[in-house]
Structure 1
């Protein structure tokens, strides 16, 4: 039996995984949390735009930008943790040779 046949059998037995269909499998409570956080971040970004339009003091704008960046990093960490515990682990169990390179590219992009 080839690796492809083995992988297909696992997929059929377990159903489609996020890594097989390139769709997410973020648990609903986390998804709700992430959406709420992104909505707050969106509001902060709009607030920054308004600050710029109103010629608010640069230091105040920069502080708000720093807060938005911190909030985005926090959302990224939560999503990365979920990705590791679902997609990455599933693909490691399936002995997918591409997951390591893909994951390292993702981590590299996050660390920039």
Structure 2
């Protein structure tokens, strides 16, 4: 089975990215759908604010968004470790471990 998660040094955006990951269409679609659901939740919270919803109700919805983002991050992180990180370690690129540690520290703030 071919690994479609090759990281290259090709820029994918002009702002900050220096690497990219080739994902299968199914994986990409799954992740994008999760983010679109989160986007819908955020729009719902905006609507609640615009309609002067009760603070507690907004906080509950905000907590749901946080949980959804955390779930997205867990899925993306697990896939990253299984593919990119494992591949780089096998190739002797130990700097990937430092990159992963820095990422985990940011996620756990």
**TM-score scaled by structure 1?**
0.80
Residue 24 (structure 1) aligns with: 21
1:101 counterpart = 2:98: yes
1:67 counterpart = 2:28: no
Bigger-Rg structure (1/2): 1
Q: How many residues align?
A: 97
* More helix by percentage: 1
1:37 counterpart = 2:34: yes
**TM-score scaled by structure 2?**
0.82
Write the deviation string for residues 29-52 of structure 1: whole angstroms up to 9, x where unpaired.
222111111111101101101111
Residue 56 (structure 1) aligns with: 53
Cα RMSD between the aligned structures? 1.7
Consecutive unaligned residues in structure 2, runs of 5 or more:
10-18
Consecutive unaligned residues in structure 1, runs of 5 or more:
1-13
